[in-house]
Structure 1
Protein backbone atom coordinates (compact mmCIF):
# COMPACT_ATOMS: atom_id res chain seq x y z
CA UNK A 1 0.00 0.00 0.00
CA UNK A 2 1.39 3.43 -0.90
CA UNK A 3 1.37 5.77 2.05
CA UNK A 4 0.20 9.34 1.85
CA UNK A 5 3.35 11.47 2.19
CA UNK A 6 1.64 13.54 4.87
CA UNK A 7 0.74 10.55 7.03
CA UNK A 8 4.16 9.69 8.53
CA UNK A 9 4.63 13.25 9.74
CA UNK A 10 1.17 13.34 11.26
CA UNK A 11 1.66 9.91 12.84
CA UNK A 12 4.92 11.06 14.39
CA UNK A 13 3.09 13.97 16.00
CA UNK A 14 0.41 11.68 17.43
CA UNK A 15 2.70 8.88 18.58
CA UNK A 16 4.66 10.98 21.05
CA UNK A 17 5.70 10.10 24.62
CA UNK A 18 2.83 9.65 27.07
CA UNK A 19 2.45 10.80 30.69
CA UNK A 20 3.73 8.29 33.29
CA UNK A 21 0.74 8.29 35.71
CA UNK A 22 -1.63 6.99 33.02
CA UNK A 23 0.66 5.18 30.61
CA UNK A 24 -1.91 2.56 29.59
CA UNK A 25 -4.79 5.00 29.12
CA UNK A 26 -2.62 7.47 27.21
CA UNK A 27 -1.29 4.68 24.98
CA UNK A 28 -4.85 3.64 24.16
CA UNK A 29 -5.71 7.29 23.51
CA UNK A 30 -2.73 7.83 21.18
CA UNK A 31 -3.55 4.69 19.19
CA UNK A 32 -7.22 5.69 18.96
CA UNK A 33 -6.24 9.13 17.67
CA UNK A 34 -4.08 7.50 15.01
CA UNK A 35 -6.96 5.23 14.01
CA UNK A 36 -9.84 7.69 14.16
CA UNK A 37 -7.99 10.50 12.39
CA UNK A 38 -7.30 8.23 9.42
CA UNK A 39 -3.56 7.80 9.87
CA UNK A 40 -4.14 4.11 9.11
CA UNK A 41 -6.30 2.70 6.34
CA UNK A 42 -8.57 -0.33 6.98
CA UNK A 43 -6.43 -3.46 6.93
CA UNK A 44 -3.17 -1.51 7.30
CA UNK A 45 -0.71 -2.69 9.93
CA UNK A 46 0.38 -0.84 13.04
CA UNK A 47 4.10 -0.26 13.56
CA UNK A 48 5.81 -3.09 15.49
CA UNK A 49 5.35 -3.16 19.28
CA UNK A 50 9.02 -2.32 19.88
CA UNK A 51 8.77 0.77 17.67
CA UNK A 52 5.53 1.91 19.32
CA UNK A 53 7.03 1.43 22.78
CA UNK A 54 10.02 3.59 21.84
CA UNK A 55 7.90 6.36 20.31
CA UNK A 56 5.44 6.43 23.21
CA UNK A 57 8.07 6.06 25.92
CA UNK A 58 6.34 3.06 27.53
CA UNK A 59 7.13 -0.62 28.01
CA UNK A 60 6.29 -3.23 25.39
CA UNK A 61 3.93 -4.79 27.94
CA UNK A 62 1.95 -1.54 28.07
CA UNK A 63 1.78 -1.41 24.27
CA UNK A 64 0.73 -5.07 24.17
CA UNK A 65 -2.04 -4.48 26.73
CA UNK A 66 -3.30 -1.42 24.83
CA UNK A 67 -3.35 -3.33 21.55
CA UNK A 68 -5.17 -6.27 23.15
CA UNK A 69 -7.77 -3.92 24.65
CA UNK A 70 -8.43 -2.27 21.29
CA UNK A 71 -8.55 -5.67 19.59
CA UNK A 72 -11.12 -6.83 22.16
CA UNK A 73 -13.09 -3.64 21.44
CA UNK A 74 -13.08 -4.40 17.71
CA UNK A 75 -10.67 -1.72 16.46
CA UNK A 76 -7.67 -3.93 15.75
CA UNK A 77 -7.07 -7.47 14.48
CA UNK A 78 -4.02 -9.55 15.38
CA UNK A 79 -2.75 -12.14 12.92
CA UNK A 80 -0.06 -14.76 13.33
CA UNK A 81 2.36 -16.18 10.82
CA UNK A 82 4.94 -14.86 8.38
CA UNK A 83 2.77 -11.92 7.38
CA UNK A 84 1.27 -11.49 10.82
CA UNK A 85 1.07 -8.43 13.02
CA UNK A 86 -1.59 -6.05 14.26
CA UNK A 87 -3.90 -4.52 11.66
CA UNK A 88 -6.68 -1.98 11.65
CA UNK A 89 -10.05 -3.71 11.39
CA UNK A 90 -11.72 -3.50 8.00
CA UNK A 91 -14.79 -2.00 9.68
CA UNK A 92 -14.51 0.02 12.87
CA UNK A 93 -17.08 -0.62 15.61
CA UNK A 94 -19.81 1.84 16.39
CA UNK A 95 -20.00 3.14 19.95
CA UNK A 96 -22.21 1.30 22.41
CA UNK A 97 -24.33 4.40 22.86
CA UNK A 98 -25.50 7.25 20.65
CA UNK A 99 -22.77 9.88 20.84
CA UNK A 100 -23.79 11.81 17.75
CA UNK A 101 -25.17 14.66 19.84
CA UNK A 102 -22.22 14.79 22.25
CA UNK A 103 -19.77 17.56 21.44
CA UNK A 104 -16.17 17.89 22.57
CA UNK A 105 -17.21 21.02 24.48
CA UNK A 106 -19.79 19.03 26.45
CA UNK A 107 -17.26 16.31 27.24
CA UNK A 108 -14.71 18.92 28.32
CA UNK A 109 -17.25 20.68 30.52
CA UNK A 110 -18.14 17.48 32.40
CA UNK A 111 -14.47 16.54 32.78
CA UNK A 112 -13.36 19.98 33.99
CA UNK A 113 -16.18 20.12 36.51
CA UNK A 114 -15.21 16.63 37.65
CA UNK A 115 -11.62 17.72 38.26
CA UNK A 116 -12.74 20.79 40.20
CA UNK A 117 -15.20 18.85 42.36
CA UNK A 118 -13.42 15.55 42.88
CA UNK A 119 -9.83 16.71 43.31
CA UNK A 120 -11.07 19.27 45.82
CA UNK A 121 -13.21 16.65 47.57
CA UNK A 122 -10.25 14.29 47.98
CA UNK A 123 -8.07 17.05 49.41
CA UNK A 124 -10.77 18.24 51.82
CA UNK A 125 -11.57 14.69 52.98
CA UNK A 126 -7.90 14.09 53.75
CA UNK A 127 -7.62 17.36 55.66
CA UNK A 128 -10.55 16.51 57.94
CA UNK A 129 -10.44 14.39 61.08
CA UNK A 130 -12.67 11.56 59.95
CA UNK A 131 -14.81 9.54 62.32
CA UNK A 132 -14.36 5.80 62.60
CA UNK A 133 -17.65 5.35 60.71
CA UNK A 134 -16.52 7.64 57.86
CA UNK A 135 -13.22 5.77 57.57
CA UNK A 136 -15.05 2.44 57.50
CA UNK A 137 -17.41 3.63 54.75
CA UNK A 138 -14.48 4.70 52.56
CA UNK A 139 -12.71 1.37 52.97
CA UNK A 140 -15.92 -0.60 52.39
CA UNK A 141 -16.71 1.33 49.21
CA UNK A 142 -13.13 0.78 48.00
CA UNK A 143 -13.41 -2.96 48.66
CA UNK A 144 -16.76 -3.12 46.88
CA UNK A 145 -15.51 -1.54 43.66
CA UNK A 146 -12.33 -3.63 43.67
CA UNK A 147 -14.42 -6.79 43.61
CA UNK A 148 -17.10 -5.50 41.23
CA UNK A 149 -18.40 -7.52 38.31
CA UNK A 150 -18.36 -5.59 34.99
CA UNK A 151 -22.12 -4.98 35.06
CA UNK A 152 -21.85 -3.42 38.55
CA UNK A 153 -18.64 -1.48 38.05
CA UNK A 154 -20.04 1.96 37.16
CA UNK A 155 -22.53 1.88 40.04
CA UNK A 156 -19.97 0.85 42.67
CA UNK A 157 -17.37 3.23 41.25
CA UNK A 158 -19.88 6.07 41.63
CA UNK A 159 -20.62 5.03 45.23
CA UNK A 160 -16.93 5.27 46.11
CA UNK A 161 -16.58 8.73 44.60
CA UNK A 162 -19.73 9.91 46.36
CA UNK A 163 -18.38 8.54 49.65
CA UNK A 164 -15.25 10.64 49.15
CA UNK A 165 -17.46 13.69 48.57
CA UNK A 166 -19.39 12.92 51.77
CA UNK A 167 -16.11 12.60 53.68
CA UNK A 168 -15.15 16.11 52.54
CA UNK A 169 -17.73 17.42 55.03
CA UNK A 170 -19.66 19.75 52.73
CA UNK A 171 -23.29 18.63 52.31
CA UNK A 172 -23.71 20.94 49.30
CA UNK A 173 -20.90 19.18 47.45
CA UNK A 174 -22.58 15.76 47.29
CA UNK A 175 -25.54 16.66 45.02
CA UNK A 176 -23.26 18.66 42.71
CA UNK A 177 -20.90 15.75 42.35
CA UNK A 178 -23.78 13.28 41.96
CA UNK A 179 -25.29 15.32 39.13
CA UNK A 180 -21.97 15.47 37.30
CA UNK A 181 -21.41 11.73 37.85
CA UNK A 182 -24.69 11.14 36.01
CA UNK A 183 -23.32 13.08 33.04
CA UNK A 184 -20.01 11.23 33.19
CA UNK A 185 -21.58 7.80 33.49
CA UNK A 186 -23.74 8.50 30.44
CA UNK A 187 -20.51 9.20 28.53
CA UNK A 188 -18.59 6.28 30.04
CA UNK A 189 -21.42 3.91 29.11
CA UNK A 190 -20.66 4.72 25.46
CA UNK A 191 -17.12 3.33 25.60
CA UNK A 192 -15.96 -0.24 26.29
CA UNK A 193 -14.80 -1.36 29.73
CA UNK A 194 -11.10 -2.12 29.31
CA UNK A 195 -9.89 -4.67 31.90
CA UNK A 196 -6.42 -3.08 32.16
CA UNK A 197 -7.98 0.34 32.74
CA UNK A 198 -10.22 -1.13 35.46
CA UNK A 199 -7.19 -2.69 37.15
CA UNK A 200 -5.36 0.64 36.96
CA UNK A 201 -8.41 2.47 38.32
CA UNK A 202 -8.49 0.05 41.25
CA UNK A 203 -4.86 0.90 42.02
CA UNK A 204 -5.62 4.63 41.80
CA UNK A 205 -8.72 4.27 43.98
CA UNK A 206 -6.61 2.57 46.64
CA UNK A 207 -3.97 5.31 46.47
CA UNK A 208 -6.68 7.98 46.86
CA UNK A 209 -8.35 6.31 49.84
CA UNK A 210 -5.06 5.51 51.59
CA UNK A 211 -3.94 9.14 51.19
CA UNK A 212 -7.26 10.36 52.61
CA UNK A 213 -7.06 8.00 55.59
CA UNK A 214 -3.44 9.07 56.17
CA UNK A 215 -4.44 12.74 56.21
CA UNK A 216 -2.30 13.52 53.16
CA UNK A 217 -4.29 16.23 51.42
CA UNK A 218 -1.87 16.93 48.59
CA UNK A 219 -1.26 13.23 48.01
CA UNK A 220 -5.00 12.56 47.82
CA UNK A 221 -5.50 15.47 45.42
CA UNK A 222 -2.61 14.33 43.19
CA UNK A 223 -3.88 10.74 43.10
CA UNK A 224 -7.41 11.89 42.26
CA UNK A 225 -6.13 14.23 39.54
CA UNK A 226 -4.19 11.38 37.90
CA UNK A 227 -7.31 9.21 38.12
CA UNK A 228 -9.64 11.71 36.44
CA UNK A 229 -7.04 12.48 33.76
CA UNK A 230 -6.93 8.78 32.83
CA UNK A 231 -10.71 8.67 32.35
CA UNK A 232 -10.57 11.90 30.35
CA UNK A 233 -8.00 10.41 27.98
CA UNK A 234 -10.20 7.40 27.22
CA UNK A 235 -13.37 9.46 26.78
CA UNK A 236 -11.70 11.80 24.30
CA UNK A 237 -10.04 8.87 22.56
CA UNK A 238 -13.28 6.99 21.95
CA UNK A 239 -15.81 9.82 21.62
CA UNK A 240 -14.08 12.82 20.02
Structure 2
Protein backbone atom coordinates (compact mmCIF):
# COMPACT_ATOMS: atom_id res chain seq x y z
CA UNK A 1 0.00 0.00 0.00
CA UNK A 2 2.87 2.37 0.73
CA UNK A 3 3.97 2.25 -2.90
CA UNK A 4 0.53 3.16 -4.17
CA UNK A 5 -0.93 6.64 -4.15
CA UNK A 6 -3.88 7.12 -1.82
CA UNK A 7 -6.13 7.43 -4.87
CA UNK A 8 -4.92 4.13 -6.33
CA UNK A 9 -5.40 2.44 -2.96
CA UNK A 10 -9.05 3.56 -2.89
CA UNK A 11 -9.53 2.42 -6.48
CA UNK A 12 -8.12 -0.99 -5.57
CA UNK A 13 -10.23 -1.38 -2.43
CA UNK A 14 -13.46 -0.59 -4.26
CA UNK A 15 -12.43 -2.67 -7.27
CA UNK A 16 -11.67 -5.69 -5.11
CA UNK A 17 -15.01 -5.38 -3.34
CA UNK A 18 -16.72 -5.49 -6.74
CA UNK A 19 -14.60 -8.41 -7.96
CA UNK A 20 -15.39 -10.38 -4.81
CA UNK A 21 -19.10 -9.71 -5.15
CA UNK A 22 -19.23 -7.63 -1.97
CA UNK A 23 -20.49 -4.68 -4.00
CA UNK A 24 -23.15 -5.78 -6.48
CA UNK A 25 -23.92 -4.43 -9.99
CA UNK A 26 -26.27 -1.49 -9.66
CA UNK A 27 -25.51 -1.00 -5.97
CA UNK A 28 -25.29 2.61 -4.84
CA UNK A 29 -22.11 3.66 -3.08
CA UNK A 30 -22.31 6.01 -0.09
CA UNK A 31 -21.88 9.71 -0.79
CA UNK A 32 -18.38 10.86 -1.66
CA UNK A 33 -17.77 12.33 1.80
CA UNK A 34 -18.89 9.09 3.44
CA UNK A 35 -16.65 7.02 1.16
CA UNK A 36 -13.75 9.22 2.27
CA UNK A 37 -14.58 8.77 5.96
CA UNK A 38 -15.23 5.04 5.63
CA UNK A 39 -11.92 4.42 3.86
CA UNK A 40 -9.93 6.92 5.97
CA UNK A 41 -8.89 9.19 3.11
CA UNK A 42 -9.47 12.83 2.23
CA UNK A 43 -12.61 13.88 0.31
CA UNK A 44 -10.53 14.94 -2.70
CA UNK A 45 -8.83 11.52 -2.78
CA UNK A 46 -12.22 9.81 -2.74
CA UNK A 47 -13.51 12.15 -5.45
CA UNK A 48 -10.52 11.51 -7.73
CA UNK A 49 -10.72 7.74 -7.19
CA UNK A 50 -14.45 7.60 -7.98
CA UNK A 51 -13.97 9.82 -11.03
CA UNK A 52 -11.20 7.53 -12.28
CA UNK A 53 -13.34 4.42 -11.76
CA UNK A 54 -16.19 6.12 -13.61
CA UNK A 55 -13.92 6.91 -16.56
CA UNK A 56 -12.99 3.24 -16.76
CA UNK A 57 -16.60 2.07 -16.59
CA UNK A 58 -16.31 0.39 -13.19
CA UNK A 59 -18.90 2.72 -11.66
CA UNK A 60 -21.45 5.07 -13.19
CA UNK A 61 -22.48 8.48 -11.88
CA UNK A 62 -26.05 9.69 -12.16
CA UNK A 63 -27.49 13.12 -11.48
CA UNK A 64 -30.76 14.14 -9.94
CA UNK A 65 -32.65 13.30 -6.78
CA UNK A 66 -32.07 9.56 -7.22
CA UNK A 67 -28.53 10.11 -8.45
CA UNK A 68 -25.18 9.15 -7.01
CA UNK A 69 -22.40 6.69 -7.78
CA UNK A 70 -23.41 3.13 -8.65
CA UNK A 71 -21.53 -0.07 -9.48
CA UNK A 72 -21.74 -0.54 -13.24
CA UNK A 73 -23.97 -3.35 -14.51
CA UNK A 74 -21.02 -4.91 -16.34
CA UNK A 75 -17.70 -3.53 -15.06
CA UNK A 76 -14.82 -4.28 -17.49
CA UNK A 77 -13.18 -7.49 -16.34
CA UNK A 78 -9.74 -6.37 -17.47
CA UNK A 79 -9.97 -3.24 -15.34
CA UNK A 80 -11.15 -5.20 -12.30
CA UNK A 81 -8.30 -7.66 -12.82
CA UNK A 82 -5.84 -4.77 -12.56
CA UNK A 83 -7.37 -3.63 -9.27
CA UNK A 84 -6.01 -6.38 -7.06
CA UNK A 85 -3.56 -6.67 -4.18
CA UNK A 86 -0.06 -7.90 -4.91
CA UNK A 87 1.39 -10.91 -3.05
CA UNK A 88 3.56 -8.50 -1.05
CA UNK A 89 0.50 -6.51 0.00
CA UNK A 90 -1.31 -9.67 1.03
CA UNK A 91 1.67 -10.71 3.12
CA UNK A 92 1.71 -7.27 4.75
CA UNK A 93 -1.94 -7.68 5.70
CA UNK A 94 -1.29 -11.10 7.20
CA UNK A 95 1.55 -9.73 9.33
CA UNK A 96 -0.71 -6.96 10.61
CA UNK A 97 -3.46 -9.49 11.32
CA UNK A 98 -1.17 -11.57 13.50
CA UNK A 99 0.08 -8.49 15.32
CA UNK A 100 -3.42 -7.23 15.96
CA UNK A 101 -4.63 -10.63 17.15
CA UNK A 102 -1.92 -10.64 19.80
CA UNK A 103 -2.70 -7.09 20.91
CA UNK A 104 -6.48 -7.64 20.81
CA UNK A 105 -6.30 -10.52 23.26
CA UNK A 106 -4.07 -8.50 25.60
CA UNK A 107 -6.17 -5.32 25.64
CA UNK A 108 -9.39 -7.32 26.03
CA UNK A 109 -7.95 -9.16 29.03
CA UNK A 110 -7.11 -5.93 30.79
CA UNK A 111 -10.30 -4.17 29.69
CA UNK A 112 -12.23 -6.92 31.48
CA UNK A 113 -10.28 -6.03 34.61
CA UNK A 114 -10.03 -2.22 34.32
CA UNK A 115 -12.89 -0.88 32.19
CA UNK A 116 -14.94 1.79 33.97
CA UNK A 117 -18.72 1.89 33.88
CA UNK A 118 -18.57 5.02 31.72
CA UNK A 119 -16.40 3.35 29.10
CA UNK A 120 -18.58 0.25 29.11
CA UNK A 121 -21.63 2.45 28.55
CA UNK A 122 -19.88 4.12 25.61
CA UNK A 123 -18.96 0.73 24.13
CA UNK A 124 -22.59 -0.30 24.39
CA UNK A 125 -23.68 2.92 22.69
CA UNK A 126 -21.33 2.20 19.80
CA UNK A 127 -22.83 -1.28 19.36
CA UNK A 128 -26.24 0.39 19.01
CA UNK A 129 -24.86 2.79 16.42
CA UNK A 130 -23.45 -0.12 14.42
CA UNK A 131 -26.74 -2.01 14.70
CA UNK A 132 -28.67 0.84 13.10
CA UNK A 133 -26.08 1.70 10.44
CA UNK A 134 -27.31 1.39 6.86
CA UNK A 135 -24.00 1.33 4.98
CA UNK A 136 -20.47 0.01 5.37
CA UNK A 137 -18.93 3.49 5.63
CA UNK A 138 -20.68 4.49 8.85
CA UNK A 139 -20.30 1.01 10.31
CA UNK A 140 -16.54 0.99 9.72
CA UNK A 141 -16.15 4.31 11.52
CA UNK A 142 -18.11 3.13 14.55
CA UNK A 143 -16.27 -0.20 14.52
CA UNK A 144 -12.92 1.58 14.63
CA UNK A 145 -14.06 3.74 17.55
CA UNK A 146 -15.28 0.63 19.37
CA UNK A 147 -11.98 -1.21 19.17
CA UNK A 148 -9.98 1.91 19.99
CA UNK A 149 -12.07 2.32 23.14
CA UNK A 150 -11.51 -1.31 24.16
CA UNK A 151 -7.81 -0.53 23.96
CA UNK A 152 -8.16 2.64 26.00
CA UNK A 153 -10.32 0.83 28.59
CA UNK A 154 -7.47 -1.63 29.20
CA UNK A 155 -5.43 1.16 30.87
CA UNK A 156 -2.22 -0.34 29.49
CA UNK A 157 -0.66 3.12 29.07
CA UNK A 158 1.92 3.30 26.27
CA UNK A 159 1.13 -0.24 25.10
CA UNK A 160 -2.30 1.07 24.06
CA UNK A 161 -0.59 3.49 21.67
CA UNK A 162 1.10 0.59 19.89
CA UNK A 163 -2.22 -1.25 19.66
CA UNK A 164 -3.93 1.85 18.23
CA UNK A 165 -1.16 2.26 15.66
CA UNK A 166 -1.55 -1.36 14.52
CA UNK A 167 -5.33 -0.97 14.38
CA UNK A 168 -5.01 2.17 12.25
CA UNK A 169 -2.62 0.44 9.85
CA UNK A 170 -4.99 -2.48 9.43
CA UNK A 171 -8.04 -0.31 8.89
CA UNK A 172 -6.27 1.11 5.84
CA UNK A 173 -6.93 -2.28 4.24
CA UNK A 174 -10.67 -2.46 4.88
CA UNK A 175 -12.75 -3.03 1.78
CA UNK A 176 -16.48 -2.29 1.45
CA UNK A 177 -18.65 -5.12 2.73
CA UNK A 178 -22.40 -5.89 2.75
CA UNK A 179 -24.05 -4.21 5.73
CA UNK A 180 -26.01 -7.37 6.56
CA UNK A 181 -22.76 -9.24 7.21
CA UNK A 182 -21.43 -6.35 9.27
CA UNK A 183 -24.56 -6.38 11.40
CA UNK A 184 -23.93 -10.06 12.03
CA UNK A 185 -20.38 -9.35 13.18
CA UNK A 186 -21.73 -6.67 15.53
CA UNK A 187 -23.21 -9.49 17.63
CA UNK A 188 -19.65 -10.21 18.71
CA UNK A 189 -19.31 -6.62 19.92
CA UNK A 190 -22.51 -6.94 21.93
CA UNK A 191 -21.36 -10.22 23.48
CA UNK A 192 -17.97 -8.69 24.26
CA UNK A 193 -19.46 -5.76 26.14
CA UNK A 194 -21.59 -8.17 28.20
CA UNK A 195 -18.50 -10.22 29.07
CA UNK A 196 -16.54 -7.10 30.00
CA UNK A 197 -19.35 -5.91 32.28
CA UNK A 198 -19.41 -9.29 34.00
CA UNK A 199 -15.60 -9.21 34.36
CA UNK A 200 -15.39 -12.58 32.61
CA UNK A 201 -11.80 -12.34 31.41
CA UNK A 202 -11.45 -15.69 29.61
CA UNK A 203 -14.84 -15.36 27.90
CA UNK A 204 -14.09 -11.82 26.73
CA UNK A 205 -10.68 -12.80 25.33
CA UNK A 206 -12.16 -15.75 23.45
CA UNK A 207 -14.87 -13.56 21.94
CA UNK A 208 -12.23 -11.09 20.74
CA UNK A 209 -9.99 -13.83 19.39
CA UNK A 210 -12.75 -15.40 17.32
CA UNK A 211 -14.06 -12.02 16.19
CA UNK A 212 -10.69 -10.88 14.88
CA UNK A 213 -9.93 -14.24 13.32
CA UNK A 214 -13.20 -14.41 11.37
CA UNK A 215 -13.26 -10.78 10.28
CA UNK A 216 -9.72 -10.85 9.03
CA UNK A 217 -10.52 -13.79 6.80
CA UNK A 218 -13.29 -11.85 5.07
CA UNK A 219 -13.01 -8.09 5.52
CA UNK A 220 -9.44 -7.27 4.61
CA UNK A 221 -7.85 -6.91 1.25
CA UNK A 222 -5.83 -9.90 0.12
CA UNK A 223 -7.45 -12.28 2.60
CA UNK A 224 -10.92 -12.51 1.11
CA UNK A 225 -9.54 -14.55 -1.77
CA UNK A 226 -7.28 -16.78 0.26
Q: TM-score, normalised by structure 1?
A: 0.56
SS of aligned partner of 1:105: helix
The number of residues matched between the two structures is 157
RMSD of aligned Cα (Å): 3.2
**1:175 CA displacement:** 1.8
1:154-176 deviations in Å (ceiling 9; x for gaps): 21111000111111111213321
**2:140 alignment counterpart:** 154
1:225 to 198, 206, 209: 209
Quick one: structure 1 residues 123 and 105, their matched pair in 2 at CA, closer, same or farther if it must change by over 3 Å? Answer: same
Quick one: structure 1 residues 120 and 72, their matched pair in 2 at CA, closer, same or farther if it must change by over 3 Å? Answer: closer
SS of aligned partner of 2:157: coil
Q: Distance in 2 between matches of 1:160 and 1:121?
A: 13
Determine if contact 1:165/1:173 at 8 Å carries over to the other structure.
no
Unaligned runs of 5+ in 1: 1-69, 76-88
SS of aligned partner of 1:170: coil
Determine if contact 1:162/1:178 at 8 Å carries over to the other structure.
yes
Determine if contact 1:134/1:167 at 8 Å carries over to the other structure.
yes
Q: Distance in 1 between matches of 2:198 and 2:190?
A: 12
Larger Rg: 1
Q: Distance in 2 between matches of 1:92 and 1:137?
A: 45
Q: Distance in 2 between matches of 1:145 and 1:172?
A: 28
**1:101 CA displacement:** 7.4
1:195 aligns with 2:145: no
Determine if contact 2:151/2:164 at 8 Å carries over to the other structure.
no
